[in-house]
Structure 1
């Protein structure tokens, strides 16, 4: 289920984004990016609609997913 990120308190949303960025452990290549830059990237993707905030009832967890991946996963479950 998609959770409207606009309905989440700013500090809570920021904490969710930080936790996501920190657990991803992604290698950004030649130039390392700061936590603040990574958080801004995720926030920008949320605002543009490229990424959605998803509640998984099965796993009882919140995650960020590319919108297209969420749609594909939802279609597979139907």
Structure 2
């Protein structure tokens, strides 16, 4: 289930983004150690709809997916 970005508390959203980036670090420029910049980029992508928050009911976990991943997998 897709969760609207504005439904999360800002601190919770930051934590979700941080955890996502730690898993996907190299793709977001974390090799250089720019976590704050990467968090802002991910937040912007969420607001623009290029990334989405996805609640996986089977795994009982919240993650971030690209719009393409959602479209390809039929999750939307």
Per the shorter chain, which TM-score range?
Answer: 0.7 to 0.9
How many residues matched? 74
Runs of 4+ in 1 over 3 A off after TM superposition: none
Structure with more relative contact order (C-alpha pairs < 8 Å, separation 6 or more) = 2
Question: Cα gap change, 1:73/1:6 in structure 2, threshold over 3 Å: closer, same or farther?
Answer: same
Verify: 1:10 aligned to 2:34, yes or no.
no
- Kindly name which structure, 1 or 2, has the bigger radius of gyration based on alpha carbons: 1
For structure 1, the 5+ residue unaligned runs are none
Residues 43-64 of structure 1 deviation map (CA, whole Å, 9 limit, x = unaligned): 0100111000001112211111
- Secondary structure of 2:65's match? strand
Q: TM-score, normalised by structure 1?
A: 0.81
Return the structure number with greater helix share. Answer: 2
Provide the alpha-carbon RMSD of the alignment.
Answer: 2.0
Q: TM-score, normalised by structure 2?
A: 0.83
Question: Cα gap change, 1:5/1:70 in structure 2, threshold over 3 Å: closer, same or farther?
Answer: same
User: What's the counterpart of residue 34 of structure 2?
Assistant: 34
Q: Distance in 2 between matches of 1:25 and 1:43?
A: 15
